[in-house]
């Protein structure tokens, strides 16, 4: 989200989901497998494509939506920036940029022009594997379609150059004026149910609720007054830095709520060692997860069906979560957190989650107009500054959140680790339809049908290695090894293996790279070098 925050001033999806079927004339999908990771959005994209909207898919894998697409750009993993720069090069060369939009609403255009000048189609074709002809066709189509939306997810961000990738997408949208109107925009789709909300709530090391900087003295003072405590003004640690600091013995105690970094974070063995190093670890969870095993105290958590509260979806829509059954551990999570804080000497007392929301929204101007009474009637998309405000379906109308949109050109950054003689395969990872990070394997129904990892191999590689459907293989990287069953499919390119990360028996993230985006700290889940041994 740092990429969009820098270029637009706000790190959120710019346009709402319903515009896919109601407004868009073109959808450009880059690094997003929507029908599996965001199925309902994927189904809507498919509906739109079948109703005549153009679709361009940029993905190294033959994802399902390729069947609906007008163009499939099968790029080599990790070459998103050259592709995007190459498209912008053509657009500028052919005079298809939106000159008025650039002049009135953006800055730093000359620098962008200078950088993308170095990405002529022939060179880009070489770097990305996309034909020159397709580069021209897609550049022209995107630039000349009035209502064009771009969608991306972790295929863009989970690279060492993730932030640069995002900025390059923003550059393309600004260059062609595809922002601030219905049916346009840049839409990062959030992977988890409440990533947007957790960010909005200030569960981030640099901002309070509502994206108010911890380093701003006025903001600090406002929160000090509200919370009755002196507050730190130094930006805190991001997740990878926390584990690094735990390794070094600087972080000695951790509280982990509803996360399982041992299974979901890259380079799992490194995480385990960090957790082992802690003096004291508290984990609040539904299950005794791989991470909870390392805890000194485990607090039982309540599921979504057992709590009142709100989630905020990927389009900034705040929606109610309602308690349907008695909490299985005896109490909802918010009460547990309040009781724990109170015992620690910081009294927290609320009658209902709506009071927590009210306290938060009184401190966060962008959400001040949202309250539980209004949410009873309908969901609301922030910014929603007053109780009369109807909410904001799309951002950046007439003006960017930061004023002028900032072009932030980027050059190609190769992945931190590429296949070589010793580790000849490129491993990429992602989510499959039937599973969601780490809760679905606990669903007896789902687990009974999709019960194990199936690493995807191209038929040519399978033949070379003597693999059959369901063969067992050992996959090894410089960081770890896992055993997996095999699925043979042309969805992947030769030389590439694709795996999910949902199964404790095949902890794929023991293999993944320790390369990080230096700005966001996001792990490079999408590219690692591995070797394969048939068992």
Partner 1 sequence: MDRVKLTINGKEVEAPAGSTILQAAEMAGIEIPRLCYDPHLSSLGACRLCVVEVKGNRLLPASCVTPVTNGMEVETETDAVVQARKTILELLVANHPLDCMTCDKMGACKLADYCYKYEVKDSPFVGERHHYPLDDSNPFIIRDMNKCILCGACVRACEEMTGQDNLSYLYRGFDRKATTAADVPYIESDCVFCGQCVAVCPTGALVEKSMSGKARRWDIDRVRTTCPFCGTGCNFDLAVKDGKVIGVLSTPEAPVNGQMLCVKGRFGWDFIYNEKRLTAPLIKKNGQFVEASWDEAYDLIAEKFNAIRDQYGPDSFAALSSARCTNEENYLVQKLTRAHMGSNNVDHCART
Nearest residue (CB) to partner 1, 89 versus 316: 316
Window of 74-82, 339-347, 398-406, 458-466 that interacts with partner 1 by CB under 8 A:
339-347
Q: Does 197 bind partner 1 (CB under 8 A)?
A: yes
DSSP structural state of residue 493: P
392 makes contact with partner 1 (CB under 8 A) = no
Between 338 and 368, name the residue whose CB sits nearer to partner 1: 338
CA distances from 228 to 204, 214, 346 (A): 21, 16, 10
Where residue 437 falls (left for φ over 0; alpha for ψ -120 to 50; beta otherwise) is left
> Does 217 engage in binding with partner 1 (CB under 8 A)?
no
132 vs 239, beta carbon nearer partner 1: 239
Q: Is 60 or 332 the residue whose CB approaches partner 1 more closely?
A: 332
Q: How far apart are CA 492 and CA 494, in angstroms?
A: 7
Applying CB under 8 A, among 446, 465, 483, 485 the residue interacting with partner 1 is 446
Minimum CB distance to partner 1 smaller for 123 or for 238: 238
Tokens of 530: 């591995």
Contacting range for partner 1; rule: CB under 8 A; set: 140-148, 398-406, 441-449, 457-465? 441-449
Residue closer to partner 1 (CB basis): 137 or 231: 231
Q: Does 443 bind partner 1 (CB under 8 A)?
A: yes
Residue carrying structure tokens 């724990």: 340
From the list 84-92, 275-283, 388-396, 453-461, the region that binds partner 1 by CB under 8 A is 275-283
Torsion of Cα atoms, 287 then 290 then 292 then 296, to 10°: 140
DSSP 21: H
In the bound state with partner 1, the residue whose beta carbon lies nearer, of 249 and 424, is 249
Least gap, CB of 19 to partner 1 (angstroms): 12
Residues near 503 by Cβ (< 8 Å), separated by ≥ 6? Answer: 441, 452, 453
Identify the residue whose tokens are 């997860």.
289
Q: Which of 85, 87, 91 is nearest to 116 (CA)?
A: 85
Bridge partner residues of 523 (DSSP): 516
Q: How far is CA 456 from the centre of its chain?
A: 22
The binder of partner 1 chosen from 62, 270, 320, 374 (CB under 8 A):
320
- φ, ψ (nearest 5 deg) of residue 26: -150, 140
Q: How far is the CB of 412 from partner 1 (least distance, A)?
A: 22
Task: Please enumerate in sequence order all residues whose Cβ is within 8 A of that of 463, keeping only pairs 6 or more positions apart, or say none.
Answer: none
In whole angstroms, how close is the CB of 290 to partner 1 at the nearest point?
13
Residues forming a β-bridge with 151: 29, 187
120 binds partner 1 (CB under 8 A): no
DSSP 8-state secondary structure symbol assigned to residue 294? G
Residues 362-391 that bind partner 1 (CB under 8 A): 378-379
19 binds partner 1 per the rule CB under 8 A: no
Does 402 contact partner 1 by CB under 8 A? no
Distance CA 419, CA 530 (A): 7
Region binding partner 1 by CB under 8 A among candidate stretches 25-33, 236-244, 412-420, 460-468: 236-244
x-or-dash pattern for partner 1, window 134-163, by CB under 8 A?
A: --------------------x--x------
Cβ closer to partner 1: 118 or 193?
Answer: 193
**Among the listed residues 57, 143, 214, 473, the single contact to partner 1 using CB under 8 A:** 214
Contacts of 26 (CB under 8 A, 6+ apart): 53, 54, 55, 56, 141, 142, 145, 147, 148, 149
Of the residues 279, 463, 470, 533, which one makes contact with partner 1 according to CB under 8 A: 279
Q: What is the x/- site pattern for partner 1, positions 472-501, by CB under 8 A?
A: ------------------------------
Residues within window 508-527 making contact with partner 1, judged by CB under 8 A: 520-523, 525
Cα 450 from Cα 432, distance rounded (Å) = 10
Q: Closer CB to partner 1, residue 52 or residue 95?
A: 52
Closer residue to partner 1, CB minimum distance, 82 or 369: 369
Place of tokens 């606990």: 442
> Whose Cβ is closer to partner 1: residue 157's or residue 184's?
157
196-11-372 Cα angle (round to 5): 40
Q: Is 497 helix (H, G, I), strand (E, B) or coil?
A: strand
Are 381 and 48 in contact, with CB atoms under 8 Å apart? no
Subset of 76-105 contacting partner 1 (CB under 8 A): none
The one among 118, 134, 182, 255 contacting partner 1 by CB under 8 A: 255
Shortest distance in whole angstroms from residue 82 CB to partner 1? 24
185, exposed or middle or buried, with CB in 10 Å at 0-12, 13-18, 19+? buried
Residue 285 engages partner 1 in binding (rule: CB under 8 A): yes
Nearby residues of 183 by Cβ (< 8 Å), 6 or more positions away: 15, 19, 22, 23, 24, 25, 146, 147, 148, 149
């Amino acid at each position: 989200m740092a990429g969009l925050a820098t270029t637009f001033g706000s790190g959120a999806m710019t346009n709402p989901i319903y515009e896919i079927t109601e407004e868009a004339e073109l959808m450009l999908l880059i690094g997003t497998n929507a029908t599996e990771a965001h199925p309902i959005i994927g189904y809507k994209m498919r509906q739109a494509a079948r109703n005549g909207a153009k679709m361009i898919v940029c993905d190294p894998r033959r994802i399902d939506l390729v069947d609906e697409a007008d163009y499939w750009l099968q790029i080599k993993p990790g070459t998103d920036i050259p592709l995007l720069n190459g498209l912008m090069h053509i657009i500028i060369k052919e005079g298809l940029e939106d000159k008025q939009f650039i002049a009135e609403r953006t800055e730093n255009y000359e620098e962008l022009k200078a950088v993308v000048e170095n990405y002529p189609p022939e060179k880009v074709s070489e770097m990305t594997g996309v034909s020159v002809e397709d580069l021209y066709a897609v550049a022209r189509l995107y630039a000349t379609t009035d209502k064009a939306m771009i969608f991306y997810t972790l295929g863009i961000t989970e690279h060492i150059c993730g932030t640069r990738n995002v900025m390059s997408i923003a550059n393309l949208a600004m260059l062609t004026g595809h922002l601030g109107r219905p049916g346009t925009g840049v839409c990062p789709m959030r992977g988890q149910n409440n990533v947007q909300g957790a960010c909005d709530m200030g569960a981030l090391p640099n901002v309070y609720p509502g994206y108010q900087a911890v380093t701003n003295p006025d903001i600090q003072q406002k929160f000090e007054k509200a919370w009755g405590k002196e507050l730190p003004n130094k930006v805190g640690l991001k997740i990878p830095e926390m584990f690094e600091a735990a390794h070094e013995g600087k972080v000695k105690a951790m509280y982990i709520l509803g996360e399982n970094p041992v299974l979901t974070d890259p380079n799992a063995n490194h995480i385990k060692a960090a957790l082992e190093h802690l003096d004291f670890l508290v984990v609040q969870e539904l299950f005794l997860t791989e991470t909870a095993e390392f805890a000194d105290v485990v607090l039982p958590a309540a599921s979504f069906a057992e709590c009142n509260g709100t989630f905020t979806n990927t389009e900034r829509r705040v929606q109610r979560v309602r308690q349907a059954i008695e909490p299985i551990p005896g109490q909802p999570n918010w009460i547990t957190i309040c009781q724990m804080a109170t015992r620690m000497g910081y009294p927290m007392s609320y009658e209902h989650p709506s009071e927590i929301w009210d306290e938060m929204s009184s401190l966060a101007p962008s959400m001040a107009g949202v309250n539980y009474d209004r949410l009873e009637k309908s969901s609301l998309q922030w910014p929603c500054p007053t109780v009369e405000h109807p909410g904001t379906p799309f951002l950046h109308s007439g003006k960017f959140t930061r004023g002028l949109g900032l072009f932030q050109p980027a050059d190609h950054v190769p992945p931190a680790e590429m296949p070589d003689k010793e580790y000849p395969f490129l491993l990429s990872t992602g989510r499959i339809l039937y599973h969601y990070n780490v809760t679905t394997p606990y669903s007896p129904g789902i687990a009974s049908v999709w019960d194990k990892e199936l690493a995807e191999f191209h038929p040519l590689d399978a033949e070379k290695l003597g693999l059959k459907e369901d063969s067992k293989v050992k996959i090894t990287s410089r960081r770890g090894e896992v055993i997996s069953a095999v699925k043979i499919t042309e969805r992947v390119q030769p030389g590439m293996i694709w795996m999910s990360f949902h199964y404790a028996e095949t902890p794929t993230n023991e293999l993944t790279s320790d390369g990080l985006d230096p700005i966001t700290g996001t792990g490079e889940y999408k590219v690692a070098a591995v070797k394969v041994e048939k068992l």
